Amino acid sequence: MLHRRHFLIASGAAAAVPALASLAHAGAPAGWTVPEDWNPVIVRLETPVPEGDIHVDPNSFSLYLGLADRRAIRYRVGIGRAGLYESGTFILGNKARWPSWRPTNDMIRRAPDRYARYANGMPGGPNNPLGARALYLHTDAGLDTYLRIHGTTEPWTIGSAVSNGCVRLVNTHVEHLYDQAAVGARVVLHPVATSA
């Protein structure tokens, strides 16, 4: 099992990824924009992430896309709230632009007032909870796990554990990740650290 220390960045190794838009968002606190330090950055890791792999460290709310030479692109993410975040190793089975969405049956059971009206699904678009892009996590056998790495209509929740289990990014950031990540890539959602 990897621990948080494996993701420590070697000093002085960060480099900016080409600037991505930091726009105001509807429904956000007044005047809110994406904080500058949330932007994707190329980092050098003490323990490399294999090139093309995606690793999520829930303890630092970071997603790493492995590059060559012990480097990775680090994105800031939000994760599933307590009891809903699921660690494990998966395969990136599919990707979609402006994906449609349907809450899972478990989501509808947990919060029918919020989700039952979407039982027949919601088309993709700027108001869709999956945001601009979605990466679908499958088992080794090719079965959909219903776990996603996706955009969000609530970007101010990045850096917190509030989702129904999926990993979320700011829309412009998930668009960037979508363009870099390959179907078939290994995706590792590392466990949340437990206090001793």
Signed CA dihedral, 92, 78, 17, 151: sign only: positive
Rg (Cα) of the chain, in Å, rounded? 16
How far apart CA 7 and CA 135 sit, in angstroms, is: 22
Domain of 59 in residue numbering reads as 4-189
pLDDT of the residue at 118: 87
pLDDT of the residue at 83: 87
The strand ranges marked E within 151-185 are: 161-163, 167-168
pLDDT of the residue at 194: 78
Q: Is 182 exposed, middle or buried (0-12, 13-18, 19+ CB in 10 A)?
A: exposed
Q: Is 195 part of any domain? A: no
**What is the mean pLDDT for each group of 10 consecutive residues in the chain (196 residues)?**
48 53 55 84 93 97 97 96 93 97 90 90 91 97 96 93 92 96 98 78
Q: Is 147 part of any domain? A: yes
Total structural domains within the chain: 1
Q: Is 194 part of any domain? A: no
Q: Is 196 part of any domain? A: no
CATH number of the domain that 51 lies in?
2.40.440.10
Q: Which two tokens stand for residue 148?
A: 């996603």
